Amino acid sequence: MKSRILSVLTDPLRVRMMDHRSTMDPNHPRDLLDVLLARVDGETDPESPFYNGDNNNNDKSNDVKGASIVTDDNNNKLAGKAIAGSVSDFGYGDLTVLNVLVDLFMAGMETTASSLAWTFLYLLHHPEVQRRVHEEMDLALGRPGHSRRPPSLSDRRRLPFACAVIHESLRMTGFVYLGFPRFVTDPEGVRVGRYVVPPGATVLPNLFHVMNDPDYWHEPRWTFTYCFYFNQLEYGK
């Protein structure tokens, strides 16, 4: 069941990879996927995660024979059998590329889209904050229609208020409630404050609590307390 759920996500990515491989020109990459596949094809170091070896992947857990709802760009159904034949050619390097794609789509997309959606919602409800962000951007990046340039990371110090608003939006939304599980490997255990977490224990960091701990956050939860960051972080100093 688990591998079937995963294959709903990975099968379309595998199809896309195979499609790219059959149409790519390594000297003129069209996108990130072409760059990664060219790296796999040129990798000769067996220690490298991009190394495909002889392209024979004997690990049948990567087989997608159970897949039934994979479609191509034109929404034509691709039979699981047809794909399975090609996927068995996937080597270790190809699986590394597949994992990068899964990171981008699973870890990177929904999180970023939701963060932006919530931030815009807060700004709609706080027009005075929105106005201030605009003014700061006009000053730092030029006004729209008057040679406004896109912001880059190096502009952060020139955009302290916008940074504070983004931080507060991420804290307040807090839609990733838990961090990844950590396993205690130290035979002595690990001391956290007045507690000792025993060896072998699995710890799930409670990010929701960190972002709402009343010892640190005196404002009510649903207040847009961007001032905290603006006054206390290093931005703009």
Check if the beta carbon of residue 206 is closer than 8 Å to that of residue 177.
Answer: yes
- Closer residue to ligand HEM (CB): 84 or 224: 224
Of residues 87 and 226, the one with the C-beta less far from ligand HEM? 226
CA 192, CA 221: separation in Å to the nearest integer?
26
CB of 116 to ligand HEM, least distance (A): 8
Considering the complex, what minimum distance in angstroms separates the CB of residue 129 from ligand HEM?
Answer: 19
Q: Measuring CA to CA, how many Å separate 189 from each of 122, 178, 218, 224?
A: 42, 21, 33, 39
Report in angstroms how near the CB of residue 112 gets to ligand HEM at its nearest. Answer: 5
Residue nearest ligand HEM, CB atom distance:
179
Q: Are 70 and 9 in contact (CB under 8 A)?
A: no
| Shortest Cβ 230–ligand HEM spacing (Å) | 20
Q: Smaller CB distance to ligand HEM: residue 199 or 205? A: 205
Of 3 and 112, nearer to ligand HEM (C-beta) is: 112
User: Minimum distance from CB of 104 to ligand HEM (Å)?
Assistant: 5
Q: Are 137 and 163 in contact (CB under 8 A)?
A: no
Cβ nearer to ligand HEM, comparing 79 with 107: 107
Q: Measured at the alpha carbon of residue 188, what is the angle toward residues 185 and 191, in degrees to the nearest 5?
A: 90
Binding site for ligand HEM (CB under 6 A): 103-104, 107-108, 111-112, 115, 176, 179-180, 205, 207
Q: Closest distance between ligand HEM and the C-beta of residue 202, in Å?
A: 13
Amino acid at 228: F
Cβ-based nearer residue to ligand HEM, 29 or 174: 174
For the bound state, the minimum distance from the C-beta of residue 108 to ligand HEM, rounded and expressed in Å, comes to 3
The answer to whether 70 and 15 have CB atoms below 8 angstroms apart is yes
**CB distance 191 to 125 below 8 Å:** no
Burial (Cβ within 10 Å: 0-12, 13-18, ≥19) of residue 87:
buried
Q: 229, 207 in Cβ contact below 8 A?
A: no
Judged by beta carbon, residue 144 or residue 179, the one nearer ligand HEM is: 179
Please state, in angstroms and rounded to a whole number, the distance separating the CA atoms of residues 84 and 60: 10
Tokens at 69, concatenated? 């709802």
